[in-house]
Amino acid sequence: MNYKIKYLITYISLAIASPLIFSQSETDLTKKKDTSGWIALPFASYSPETEWAFGVAGLYYFHTMENPLPDSRSSNIISAIQYTTKKQFLVELDYDFYFSNEDYRFYGYAAYSKFPFSFFGIGNDTKEEDEENYTPKYISFINTLLKKIHSSSRGGIYTGVRLDLRHDNIIEKETGRMLDTANVSGSNGGSIAGLGITANLDTRDNTFTSTSGEFVDVQLNFYSSQLIGEFGFNNFALDARKYFGFDVLNSHHVFAAQFSAKHATGDVPFYLLPTFGGKFDMRGIFTGRFRDKNSYFLQAEYRFPVYWIIGMVVFGGTAQAAPEVSKFSFNGTKFAYGLGIRLNVIPSEGISLRADFGFSNGEGQLYLGFGEAF
């Protein structure tokens, strides 16, 4: 089968990357709980839309307690900077902080981007030949504050609020194509402002690489066009995950499963419609390949050690998008599958580097990142 590889990301040099990784992990291989540490990794990529792109990604982890317990969760900051030979730019920052013995959690995402993307239309049956390129310039801030209202032997139940602010400007699009001629909400960009409520059950043993426990998150978000926002819509999101750890021949294996469903109503800009695909879910499907006011995906993976700090993962999933829940059908199901390699560089914190190669409908995608996909 002739697989087409898009956005192929490769290491610039293992010789360059290795000192940055292992200089921070020599003591970690003893599985001693450290209070902080970091990883940095340069990378390069190529695609017709960006030409050559170069960047660096980094992760810094720490504990808010001076003497963290062996099972305490670490706070972390993950950042990435990317620049292309077409003068495109991307800066991303993810952060996750635990305070007061994990009674409070504050996490979020901030980004500034001038980067090309692909639009295939709206719906579950869009065609590959409908692909058109556009370049949005946007700034985004998403923040969530949670308070633990019930404790369990590990983790507990949290509730809180969510703030979502974003401004987009579509600076380039193809003349005569859908975003230029059709009445697509958000085709010229705009601002959104949303407030939401969220609740979750979190008993995972580790947020980077979960090997046991469960995570169930429910969100209800409201976006208004009356103040600084230009679009009025609401969305609902459910994310449910379960992890099963077990031993095979004196080595620890993990089976993980995740179900996610999203529902939106109102005037939703096309780039915020429920969708799936990318480095976290349905790996093998291009991010935003299918989008509509309703979507779901179900995925699972099997993780197992190979040698020393090296592990492997096999994964697969199904997904679908539809204008209404009643329009979901078996014939519309999308499938994705693949395998990945893990380098468990900081075992004491469950922090690993991952490279996943996913397939769907005769195409392949390669993803790099920190920690597991889910």
Read off the CATH number of the domain in which 274 is found.
2.40.160.50
Give the whole-angstrom CA distance, residue 192 versus residue 162.
14
What are the tens digits of pLDDT across the range 147-177?
999 998 888 999 999 999 999 999 999 999 9
Closest CA to 209 of 359, 59, 354, 58: 354
Structure tokens at 197: 């409520």
User: Hey, what's the torsion of the CAs at 118, 144, 75, 296, to 10 degrees?
Assistant: -50
- Residue, of 3 and 105, whose pLDDT is higher: 105
The secondary structure of residue 280, as a DSSP letter, is: S
Report pLDDT for 49: 62
Instruction: Report the chain's mean pLDDT, rounded to a whole number.
Output: 89
Q: How confident is the model at residue 48 (pLDDT cuts 50, 70, 90)?
A: low
Q: Which of 289, 361, 296 minimizes the C-alpha distance to 322? A: 296
Region 213-242 average pLDDT: 96
Residue 8 clears pLDDT 50, i.e. is over it: no
Q: Name the pLDDT band for 7 (thresholds 50, 70, 90).
A: very low
For the chain, the domain total comes to 1
Please name which of 305, 315, 314, 313 lies closest in space to residue 347, comparing C-alpha atoms.
305
Give the integer Cα–Cα distance in Å for 365 and 286. Answer: 8
Q: What is the pLDDT of residue 136?
A: 95
Each as own residue / partner, the long-range contacts of residues 78-83 (CB below 8 Å, 24 or more positions apart, any chain) are 78/370, 80/55, 80/56, 81/55, 81/56, 81/57, 82/45, 82/53, 82/54, 82/55, 82/115, 83/53, 83/54, 83/55
pLDDT band at 143 (very low <50, low <70, confident <90, very high): very high
Whole-model pTM above 0.85? yes
User: What domain range includes position 300?
Assistant: 4-370
The mean per-residue pLDDT over the stretch 342-370 comes to 90
Are 299 and 220 spatial neighbours (Cβ–Cβ below 8 Å)? Answer: no
